[in-house]
Amino acid sequence: MSAPLLIELLTEELPPKALRLLSEAFKEYLLDGLMGADLVHGNEGVRAFATPRRLAVLCPRVREAAPDKLLERKGPAVSAGLDAAGKPTKALEGFMRSAGVDFGQLQRVQDGKGEYFVALVEKKGEALHVLLPDLIDAALKKLPVPKVMRWGDSEYQFVRPVHGLVVMHGKRVLGDTVVLGLRAGNRTRGHRFLSAGDIRLEAAEDYEAQLEREGRVIASFERRRALIAEKLAAKARSLGAHLKDTEALLDEVTALVEWPEVYVGEFEREFLEVPQECLILTMQQNQKYFPLFDDSGRLQNRFLIVANMAVADPRHIVGGNQRVVRPRLADARFFFDQDRKQRLDTRVPRLAQVVYHNRLGSQLERVERLQKLAGAIARRLHADQAAAERAAYLAKADLLTGMVGEFPELQDIMGRYYAHHDGESPVVADAIEAHYRPRFAGDALPEGNVACAVALADKLDALIGFFGIGQVPSGDRDPFGLRRAALGVLRILIEKPLPLDLGELITEGATGFPAGTLQAGSQAALYDFMLERLRGYLREAGHAIEAIEAVLAGKPTRIDLVLPKLEAVREFVRLPEAQALAAANKRIVNLLKKVPPVAGEPDVLLLQESAEKALFERMNAVAPLVKSHVAGEDYTEALKALAQLREAVDTFFDQVMVMADEPLTRQNRLALLARLAGLMNQVADISRLSV
């Protein structure tokens, strides 16, 4: 018989940022266990519930016991199981006793190694109430909990103390189930303040409705989240205001309430003189409020509060929250006022006392490297070198301000505000604010070549330094964010795009470190690492793997030219000559791998066959055209020009023996093919396109 199965753990307040993940993981691992025990088929209709003080799972159709099974037990070979008279041997008799069968119940099975006896043994399916405690324990132990705790005098461990357990199969309470020292029952808790008391559940399938009706608890995380989002949007609309970037905070607030209601709070307008990023961070991070904005995106002096209860008169709730937020906003204003009393450039020398890394020096030493590298990049871009060097000099100064000390997330944002206050040029101030960009996938890139120069310098210095001391990412470990930094460099070079040579930038950046700091070979390792990141970036962008490999085979350092080359390859493969030329190129590459490196140009006087002469002449005609297109970065036309070689190449391979017996002839033909390969692979290694 099947019935809904409900499992609920009643806990103390669970960590809000992890609640959604814990809930989904608990459902997944519990369902895996039930399916493995053959107690349930599939995951259709299985639901997870999560509130600040509970984790629960409801499976709609769970068997009372696993079905009985016929298990096949392999016995001795027929030759060993029967004697000369055809009677069972002692070995076969022992097998029959262990399997609980007689001779007439045995079957003979033939496989590749011979014939053997088989017994079909019926295994009784175990009952749900017997299996369930171990299944729940196993699921709890697999949860992604970084740190567990004990409570009371017990030795049991979980992310938070557990004080209640509900396990019901339909209307039946599985009271024999004991988990974390708690015996299962059918009593749960409602809202801490709005519920009249404990709730006696009548049936597993009634859990959600009964908890909401009697306990004022919306058990579904997703339903509660959607309700909060709807109430926030409606309240903002009624005020003629807008919300911004609510997703992460919405998850966290959903994990803090069980019966949500939205109220409006206010603060004094004078606080709006503080940069709005500071006020937003204070409200969101410390108080979990939702700031409101006007039509132009400016912060208003109102905010939305998600409370854990609905009341007729919310004045006490609103007033209490306004009293709490006011000192936090006053702190932000104090830091802002105090920080502006000291110029950014006067803070920079104190960076000598701030360690960047014990093997890479202080923040001041890093700033000096950033100045040099940012200036070199700006010079290559024909940008304002002095502005780039000034922005790099000031970029880390806000680390020593009170505001950034209180809110590290405001690094570079506060640097921009303070630079403006100090009278720095807008270009310098904007470059300070943008030098960490892009911070994450999809983040905006720096605007303008000065800002790009400083941002590239910041990321390249970190990459060169940490690779130079052997601190490279491995597996899931990347404590210094080098994968993110590498992708940031690549995105700036590609998406801007900037005509910079990555190899030259790495070499230039390495010169800023003291002799002996960087390990030999680290720069080559860094380039290979970035090439691998580029490969992933291009795949995620939807480019064909064959085209990516063809373009990256030449280990390009002008990253801004990779996308035009990919586009050229995409156009080339559409040509009717493409596959024949790719196959020929692959043949040439494989052939040249088998011989010593070919030096020198083919000698026209040693050309004998009409086919090799024709190929030589056709190459001479096409080469200047290809060279011109490549120099003009018109890679599509360069590859199209190569299509003119198809007939000559096909005829050459049909009529000419490359590996001739005569050494000079053989070497001359190899030189001809080496020149052909060089001509064909200037844009991409088209041999990689051969199907």
Strand-pairing partners, residue 119, are: 73
Note the pLDDT of residue 328. 93
Q: What's the burial of 55, exposed, middle or buried (CB within 10 Å: 0-12/13-18/19+)?
A: buried
The verdict on whether omega for the bond into residue 438 sits within 30 degrees of 0, i.e. cis, is yes
**Which among 250, 259, 236, 322 is positioned nearest to 288, based on CA atoms?**
250
Q: Block means of pLDDT (10 residues each) for the chain, length 691 residues?
A: 94 95 96 92 90 97 87 86 88 88 86 84 85 95 91 91 96 94 96 92 96 96 97 97 94 97 96 95 93 96 96 94 94 96 97 96 97 98 98 98 94 96 97 96 95 98 98 92 97 97 97 96 97 96 96 96 96 93 91 89 93 95 95 94 93 94 94 93 92 71
For 556, the token pair is: 């390009």
Cα–Cα distance measured from residue 18 to residue 23, given in angstroms and rounded to the nearest whole number = 9
Cα–Cα distance measured from residue 416 to residue 184, given in angstroms and rounded to the nearest whole number = 59
Note the pLDDT of residue 574. 93
**Burial letters 173-182, b for 16+ CB under 10 A, else e:** bbeebebbeb
Cα–Cα distance measured from residue 452 to residue 363, given in angstroms and rounded to the nearest whole number = 21
For 295, the token pair is: 């039509």
Note the pLDDT of residue 249. 95
**Phi-psi bin for 305: left (phi > 0), alpha (psi -120 to 50), beta?**
beta
End-to-end Cα spacing for the chain: 57
**Mutual orientation of helices 663-680 and 610-631 as an angle, nearest 10°?**
30
CB-based contact 139:33 (threshold 8 Å): yes
Strands 187-188 and 2-11: unpaired
**Phi-psi bin for 173: left (phi > 0), alpha (psi -120 to 50), beta?**
beta
Q: Would you mind telling me the total number of residues written for the chain in this entry?
A: 691
The DSSP line for 35-78 is HHTTS--S-TT-EEEEETTEEEEEEEEEESBPPPEEEEEEEEEH
Note the pLDDT of residue 84. 85
Cα–Cα distance measured from residue 290 to residue 280, given in angstroms and rounded to the nearest whole number = 8
- Give the H or E element holding residue 332: helix 315-339
**Which among 225, 287, 217 is positioned nearest to 259, based on CA atoms?**
217
For 267, the token pair is: 């603060």
| Domain residue limits, the chain | 2-65+127-215, 69-123, 221-339, 345-542, 562-689
Using alpha carbons only, give the angle 547, 548, 549 rounded to the nearest 5 degrees: 90
What is the architecture of the domain spanning 562-689?
Orthogonal Bundle (1.10)
Note the pLDDT of residue 100. 84
- Give the H or E element holding residue 301: strand 299-307
CATH class of 345-542: mainly alpha
Q: What's the burial of 344, exposed, middle or buried (CB within 10 Å: 0-12/13-18/19+)?
A: buried
Task: Find the largest Cα–Cα distance for the chain.
Answer: 110
SS3 assignment, position 475: coil
Q: Which amino acid is at 565?
A: K
Cα–Cα distance measured from residue 494 to residue 447, given in angstroms and rounded to the nearest whole number = 14
CB-based contact 269:301 (threshold 8 Å): yes
Cα–Cα distance measured from residue 54 to residue 118, given in angstroms and rounded to the nearest whole number = 50
CB-based contact 485:467 (threshold 8 Å): no
**DSSP conformation class of 400:** G
SS3 assignment, position 21: helix
The DSSP line for 507-536 is HHHHTTSPTTSSPTTHHHHHHHHHHHHHHH
C-beta neighbour count of 688 within 10 angstroms? 21
Note the pLDDT of residue 98. 86
For 184, the token pair is: 């299962």
E strand spans, 156-222 = 162-169, 172-173, 178-179, 182-183, 187-188, 199-200
For 395, the token pair is: 């970029």
Say how many CA atoms lie within 13 Å of 680 toward its Cβ: 32
Cα–Cα distance measured from residue 363 to residue 373, given in angstroms and rounded to the nearest whole number = 15
Note the pLDDT of residue 503. 97
Cα–Cα distance measured from residue 506 to residue 511, given in angstroms and rounded to the nearest whole number = 9
Strands 2-11 and 54-63: antiparallel
Contacts with 59 (C-beta within 8 Å, 6 or more apart), sequence order? 4, 5, 30, 31, 34, 40, 45, 46
